[in-house]
Chains A and B, each alone.
Chain A
């Protein structure tokens, strides 16, 4: 099933933060790269529009879970690159456990 645009945004509301943290766990990335990576990994299920991405990034940064720094891309353009902080790593671990529990519970309910 291909979710409509509206579905996408509802879906993202609770999970976008987790997706971003998970994406940044592997390597620091700038905004567009994060969106691209999420789209790529979820095979297009989650296409994150700028209007959702940036508020989420800023919320995470203000929480101290990620940190943004100005860097240069390979071809010399200035971009703001986000990386995971130590509290961010801990947060990700907690959230992953929570997620696993939620998924297990949901599957039990829906699968039975």
Chain B
């Protein structure tokens, strides 16, 4: 066939449809006229001639339909036509369309959003070269049972020198620096001190300049820094000649030697977050991004073997196995333990970097993925149910249309197209939802989820979700066709015969099965959500030991330039003490402040630990864990509401030059003075003997989940910080502690105009952030559970309503025979409860098998907690009864007279 004609026909078929149709109509009319004329010529009466002509033509509409089928491009035209009809049909039943679209859109949207996050965080390859060869070499402390500690500088140097399984070991330590840019308040930046081999080890190359050179790594080397891309942008407007320019960091000019890509920051937050202490900025800002990289300069003189502050990251030598490296490292640790008393109880724990970074987020993300998958399943089942019900309702329509000339295949295509159109609309809506969902998830997700900033809507994922939904549309779009195949035109057109009622019954059985499955899935989700909620509740009920409500914290770090420190002067750092006193004086003058304190660490900052001895029991100390050292001003206990258990609190009289004292917390008193009096005992710490003057309650400094470790409280005046770090705590009478923030800034500016204040937030927020991953998981699973439950309720309602509609006559008959309304209601609700019970049994069994995966996310509740299971079973039955209520009410209102007459 010549191409030109083909295109012309296609054009006419698609764009000149009206003309072509009019033409066809005229042609067939004339054909019938001709036939009639011929019949009349053969002697028939005009009426008879016409009737016979019509008969002979064999149904004008069917002929037309066959001609249309023969046209070029007919499939395309019909597809468009089908789509138009589909849209019209969908618009005609807005309720059905809205429910179906909303259901699937939620399923698709939620799945795409969650999967985008999981994919972005977990599944995409890590930005580091050979991440599978990188491992953290943690030190462990057998006495305290901690497994992830930083090493001391001498230990680090020993590991580096002796290890052969690791071909490189880099040292890292968290720092913070304040940056002063011209004309702005100084700001606090997250920084990392690193050894220069880190960058080549992990395969990060500077985008400008170079890494640290050997001279810069030496002790006493020049003040240099590498900066992040974002700081490059912020401070230098991406100046290509940035190398050689200077930045004022901690009030000292530093020469910028290079710019690192933002991806270089990968994993630092997770490494610090996993650590037992020395977590630096990870405790303060869960979304901190490393902006400045400084040479670590491991100096064994100022950082001796009992001071732990360097994290070790090793790269396995080619061919070396992780287990070999672990064995070798353990052997090295054992050697060090024998050689140095301060290493008593120290071992090592080699952990793959991937595990450190992704390990903690894997369980919650996979739980979310499972939950959202269940939601999609429930959504699909619900839509399937809707389509099934609709298919039944449309058998009449199918019959009418086939009587009007639609061929069987044309009808099936119509229904298929309708299903696909429906799902495409749902897919588009789902895509929009996913877009918003990803943004919302990233917004509310806890910041310590790695790579969160790189999460974007994944188009592949959306594509897959769309494909799945189209498949659902196709499969269930086929249902009315299959039903139409067995269609008896006559009886369907006349109305429901007895045959229909029974085939309706078999369809109802299928729908009931679907609904029971849906209920089962909802039950599993609701139980998961219930367990998470219960855990969160338990967690929230834990007494942290301090009062967070109404307390504001603000952090700072005094630069050594203006606040000099030295071993010789300790603890009499005059400038520092003067600053502390001045700041507290200012704070006390604020009218809203009830009490104020300054501490080395706020109550949720684990701070650092040290070894110590009880005078007279020195030999026991070898088996003791290190103790957490808290340094506070006397107002601390009142400010955070820490209760005194025994003896006295720290007081103003515990001055720098007065007799050294300390307090123990209960955990320390029980652990180190079991059954003996701790008051009056002498404790040797940092070479000073201190008298125990009191015992205070436990504070959960490691967060709500972990019990309080043994702690000592030293007067800040007698134990100032070497690095100048401090935190101001204010207890306010007002409801909103944050209202104090401007006064705090003004106050600090007054005492020291150049000092950066950071981390200003209510302590309650700090506390709430410490459980943010749990809250996030609970919220999202809870939302999904609610969705699934709502869908299941809709499913139960739908099946029962359909059943009632189908059995109007039967119910009418029952009522005519004396059944009362209550009986009918019982009948319908009973059916709903049977559905619910079947689903419940399945769901409970599934939950028993599956909630184990939640174990790591639970707190204070077992994965098979009977109370939760029972409560949710009861709740579900209530929901089912409520969902059955409307159809039951409708059934009870059936008027027997009308019902019996209606057919």
> Which A residues lie at the B interface, using CB under 8 A?
30-33, 49-52, 54-56, 58-59, 62-64, 68, 70, 73, 75, 77-80, 87
Q: Are A50 and B58 in contact (CB under 8 A)?
A: yes
Q: Are A49 and B58 in contact (CB under 8 A)?
A: yes
Q: Are B28 and A62 in contact (CB under 8 A)?
A: no
Q: Are B26 and A78 in contact (CB under 8 A)?
A: yes
Cβ contacts under 8 Å, B810 to chain A: none
Chain A: minimal CB distance from B4 (Å): 8
On whether A50 and B31 interact (CB within 8 A), knowing A62-B71, A62-B72, the answer reads yes
Which of A31, A49, A54, A75 neighbours the largest number of chain B CB atoms within 10 Å of its CB?
A: A54
Name B33's closest neighbour in chain A (CB-CB).
A77
- Can you list 9 contacts pairing A with B, beta carbon distance less than 8 Å? A31-B30, A33-B34, A50-B56, A51-B59, A59-B70, A62-B1, A62-B6, A78-B26, A80-B27
> Which B residues lie at the A interface, using CB under 8 A?
1-2, 4-6, 9, 23-24, 26-28, 30-31, 33-35, 37-38, 56-59, 62-63, 66-67, 69-72
Cα A51 to Cα B56 in complex, Å, equals 10
Cα A59 to Cα B70 in complex, Å, equals 6
Give 11 new A-B contacts, CB below 8 A, not counting A31-B30, A54-B63, A58-B70. A30-B30, A32-B38, A52-B66, A54-B28, A54-B31, A56-B70, A58-B67, A64-B2, A70-B26, A78-B26, A80-B27
Chain A: minimal CB distance from B416 (Å): 24
Tally of contacts, chain A with chain B, CB under 8 A: 74
On whether A32 and B2 interact (CB within 8 A), knowing A54-B63, A55-B70, the answer reads no
Q: Are B1 and A63 in contact (CB under 8 A)?
A: yes
Chain A: minimal CB distance from B325 (Å): 76
Cβ contacts under 8 Å, A54 to chain B: 24, 27-28, 31, 63, 66-67
Cα A80 to Cα B1 in complex, Å, equals 23
Chain B: minimal CB distance from A95 (Å): 13
Cα A48 to Cα B379 in complex, Å, equals 53
Name A73's closest neighbour in chain B (CB-CB).
B34
Cα A35 to Cα B324 in complex, Å, equals 92
Cβ contacts under 8 Å, B72 to chain A: 62
Cα A58 to Cα B66 in complex, Å, equals 10
Cβ contacts under 8 Å, A68 to chain B: 27
- Pairs A-B, 5 closest by C-beta atoms: A64-B5, A55-B70, A62-B9, A32-B34, A63-B1
Q: Are B27 and A31 in contact (CB under 8 A)?
A: yes
Q: Are A62 and B5 in contact (CB under 8 A)?
A: yes
Cβ contacts under 8 Å, A56 to chain B: 70
Q: Are B66 and A78 in contact (CB under 8 A)?
A: no
Cα A33 to Cα B2 in complex, Å, equals 27
Chain A: minimal CB distance from B310 (Å): 82
Cα A38 to Cα B849 in complex, Å, equals 76
Cβ contacts under 8 Å, B30 to chain A: 30-31, 77-80
Contact pick for A51, options B26, B33, B63, CB 8 Å = B63
Cα A2 to Cα B118 in complex, Å, equals 73
Q: Are B67 and A87 in contact (CB under 8 A)?
A: no
Q: Are B2 and A87 in contact (CB under 8 A)?
A: yes
Cα A59 to Cα B74 in complex, Å, equals 12
Cα A59 to Cα B71 in complex, Å, equals 6
Chain A: minimal CB distance from B735 (Å): 81
Q: Are B9 and A55 in contact (CB under 8 A)?
A: no
Name B38's closest neighbour in chain A (CB-CB).
A32
Cβ contacts under 8 Å, A77 to chain B: 30, 33-34, 37
Cα A32 to Cα B33 in complex, Å, equals 10
Cβ contacts under 8 Å, B56 to chain A: 49-50
Name B34's closest neighbour in chain A (CB-CB).
A32
Q: Are A80 and B70 in contact (CB under 8 A)?
A: no
Cβ contacts under 8 Å, B67 to chain A: 54-55, 58
Cβ contacts under 8 Å, B71 to chain A: 58, 62
Cβ contacts under 8 Å, A78 to chain B: 26, 30
Cα A65 to Cα B23 in complex, Å, equals 19
Chain A: minimal CB distance from B309 (Å): 85
Name A31's closest neighbour in chain B (CB-CB).
B31
Cβ contacts under 8 Å, B57 to chain A: 50
On whether A64 and B1 interact (CB within 8 A), knowing A50-B63, A55-B69, the answer reads yes
Which of B1, B35, B62, B72 neighbours the largest number of chain A CB atoms within 10 Å of its CB?
A: B1
Contact pick for B58, options A51, A55, A87, CB 8 Å = A51
Cα A104 to Cα B9 in complex, Å, equals 36
Cα A87 to Cα B35 in complex, Å, equals 31
Cβ contacts under 8 Å, B4 to chain A: 64
Which of A58, A78, A87 neighbours the largest number of chain B CB atoms within 10 Å of its CB?
A: A58
On whether A79 and B34 interact (CB within 8 A), knowing A51-B58, A54-B67, A58-B71, the answer reads yes
Cα A64 to Cα B10 in complex, Å, equals 13
Cα A75 to Cα B36 in complex, Å, equals 14
Name A47's closest neighbour in chain B (CB-CB).
B56
Cα A62 to Cα B14 in complex, Å, equals 13
Cα A62 to Cα B9 in complex, Å, equals 6
Chain B: minimal CB distance from A79 (Å): 5
Name A55's closest neighbour in chain B (CB-CB).
B70
Chain B: minimal CB distance from A10 (Å): 16
Chain A: minimal CB distance from B743 (Å): 86
Chain A: minimal CB distance from B223 (Å): 84
Chain A: minimal CB distance from B776 (Å): 62
Cα A62 to Cα B7 in complex, Å, equals 9
Cα A79 to Cα B27 in complex, Å, equals 7
Cβ contacts under 8 Å, B70 to chain A: 55-56, 58-59, 62
On whether A50 and B28 interact (CB within 8 A), knowing A32-B38, A77-B34, the answer reads yes
Cβ contacts under 8 Å, A33 to chain B: 34
Contact pick for B66, options A51, A63, A79, CB 8 Å = A51
Chain A: minimal CB distance from B44 (Å): 16
Q: Are A32 and B5 in contact (CB under 8 A)?
A: no
Name A77's closest neighbour in chain B (CB-CB).
B33
On whether A32 and B1 interact (CB within 8 A), knowing A58-B71, A62-B71, the answer reads no
Q: Are B66 and A55 in contact (CB under 8 A)?
A: yes
Cα A80 to Cα B24 in complex, Å, equals 10
